[in-house]
Amino acid sequence: MSDATTGATETAVFAYELGHLKMVSRSGWRRIGIGDGENVAAHSWRAAVLAFVIAVGEGADPERAAVLGLFHDVPEARYGDVDAVGKPYVKTVPATEVAADQTSSLPVELAERIRGAIAEHESSKRPGASKEAMCSRDADKLELLLTAREYQEAGRAPKSIGRYIESMIPMITTATGQALRDAALHTDPSAWWDDFATRFGTPAASERPFKVAK
């Protein structure tokens, strides 16, 4: 059997497990009355993009930071998303141990890369964390803030959502993350759409600000 096909079945099983993250709701939103809030997979995707963006600004490795953001919540496929209210009452196995179980049947190199990414993200909570881990952790918090602002603007959020936003402000620590945080707080979530809508039906609607040279 070639290296390309070794462990393919086991990897497919893992991929199906990852798909469960599309069905795991972010429990904090349900807590405040948003019953159809984002799922963990959606959160992880934008967190990965934001980790990349922050890492570029911080002079860190953006690809590595994005990988940390992408994989950081993979263990939640097993134990779900425990919100801040529940954490004092629920003892969960460390994410690194869950990841070790999740990847135990995968090809060795693949398993080690995934475990390493999750372990590095988790290390952001301790002194001496890598730049990439700090960027990934900031992205995790910034993504929550952005989502809260989106729900707020859509009129779907109760007054208590302001506490979610306020709680994220001091948790973002990199200079780039803080700049993005401050901009997000003062920018309407629909600004990108409003810009297009004001140009719709006019010649400006088809204008492209940047064209790739042929």
> How many beta carbons lie within 10 A of that of residue 141, not counting itself?
20
Residue 148, strand partner residues: none
Q: Which residues of the chain have pLDDT under 70?
A: 1-4, 210, 212-214
Confidence at residue 4, expressed as pLDDT on a 0 to 100 scale? 56
In the chain, the percentage of residues whose pLDDT exceeds 70 is 96
Confidence at residue 3, expressed as pLDDT on a 0 to 100 scale? 56
139 and 69 in contact (C-beta within 8 Å)? yes
Q: Look up tokens 């707020």; give the residue.
A: 152
How deeply is 128 buried, as exposed, middle or buried, from its count of CB atoms within 10 A (0-12, 13-18, 19+)?
Answer: exposed
CA dist 46 and 55 (Å) reads 14
Q: Domain 8-189's class? A: mainly alpha
Which token pair is 56? Answer: 């570029």
Confidence at residue 1, expressed as pLDDT on a 0 to 100 scale? 45
Domain boundaries, the chain: 8-189
Give 4-41 pLDDT, tens digit per residue: 577 999 999 999 999 999 999 998 888 888 888 899 99
CA distances from 55 to 43, 120, 133, 181 (A): 18, 15, 10, 15
Which token pair is 45? Answer: 């995707």
CA distances from 148 to 66, 136, 210 (A): 22, 19, 31
Confidence at residue 85, expressed as pLDDT on a 0 to 100 scale? 83
CA dist 112 and 118 (Å) reads 10
Confidence at residue 32, expressed as pLDDT on a 0 to 100 scale? 84
132 and 60 in contact (C-beta within 8 Å)? yes
CA dist 173 and 138 (Å) reads 7
Strand, helix or coil at 75? coil
Residues 45-76 as b or e (16 or more Cβ within 10 Å = b) = ebbbebbbbbbeebebbbebbbbbbbbbbbbb
Confidence at residue 22, expressed as pLDDT on a 0 to 100 scale? 96
